[in-house]
Amino acid sequence: MAAGNAGALRGAAERWLFGARAVETAPIHLGQRRIYVLPTAAGWVFALVLLVMLIASINYSLSLGYALTFLLGGVALASTVHAARNLLDLTIRPGRGEAVFCGEDAVFRLLIDNPRAARRPALALRAHGRETVFELAAGDGAEIALACPTARRGEFAIGRTVLETRWPLGLARAWSVFTPATTCLVYPAPEADPPPLPVDRAADGTRLRSGGEGDEDFSGLRRFRDADSLRHVAWKVVARGGPLLTKQFTGLVGADLLLDSAALPPSLDLEAKLSRLAAWLLAAERSGCRYALVLGGTTIAPGRGELHLHRCLRQLALFRNVPSGTRDA
């Protein structure tokens, strides 16, 4: 609890001191003016110990005490320089962020290059209260993934990001603050237990029926007919000495499925409606049928497949009560 409070206070102090940077274009270069260095808690304790040693050496005229005090002080100062140099001249470029559902972690990827012929150990990348620890080889780069929690749908930016190090002794913390231009899309969280698909609504106004012969969900066995496909024969039953039976499947047949936000119960609020539509989109895609989406004044024509699914989910994620009359075919 104390560590969490300390981290929150440190974050608030950094925001007050350094403010919120505007989104920066790539590549982001960490020059000398962008690196800040301060003692850590261990560094302040170390400084206090050195002060006590210096006072004791003065009080008792200890030559070896002076030598040890100044030696340790020099080591501490050298570690501060090395901490700053561990970040100097690094280059950051934003990577690709994949879409996720609300409540899942959004994974942001940053490409960090080390142009210097020396490795960069003990680096840490922080954003939205999450941290990823890594190191870079000499003259090499790496793609660093940082998982951040999501709490609402829409476009989610990584925002204010901190790259820091406490190498080599942990007595000083060197860090740099930047805002890379990387975002990801957060879809509405699908309803946990949605009602069945509205199979009575079709995109062309006709009734969409279910329960016919399809190849989606297993529904039972019936006696074999001469016209039945051999691949649907229940061969396991035959192998046990049973009769020749055919496996039956049910699937959605008929016209294209229509998912219309206006047909949802008015008792549901906007987020609940979007959550139900997200669950229905996933179910419709699994069923293999074609489906259309009507949301507000926007219509997405019938289709299926991964690209069509993400197109519909994107519409849910970015929905902001758009004016009616817009048609997206």
pLDDT at 132: 96
Terminal-to-terminal C-alpha distance of the chain: 53
pLDDT at 324: 39
pLDDT at 242: 75
Pair (180, 218) in one structural domain:
no
In a domain, 325, yes or no: no
In a domain, 326, yes or no: no
pLDDT at 16: 60
Pair (97, 236) in one structural domain:
no
Q: Encoding tokens for residue 67?
A: 């030598």
**Are 197 and 252 in contact, with CB atoms under 8 Å apart?**
yes
pLDDT at 238: 73
Calpha distance 321→327 (Å, rounded): 14
Q: Which portions of the chain are predicted below pLDDT 70? A: 1-21, 199-222, 225-229, 232, 247-255, 321-329
Pair (267, 301) in one structural domain:
yes
pLDDT at 19: 52
pLDDT at 27: 92
Per the structure, how many domains does the chain have?
2
**Are 304 and 216 in contact, with CB atoms under 8 Å apart?**
no
Residue pLDDT, tens place only, 38-57: 999 999 999 999 999 999 99
Residue ranges making up the domain that contains 132: 23-187
What does the radius of gyration of the chain's CA atoms come to, in whole angstroms?
31
In a domain, 10, yes or no: no
Final residue before a domain boundary, out of 120, 154, 187:
187
Indicate the pairing of strand 291-295 with strand 298-303.
antiparallel
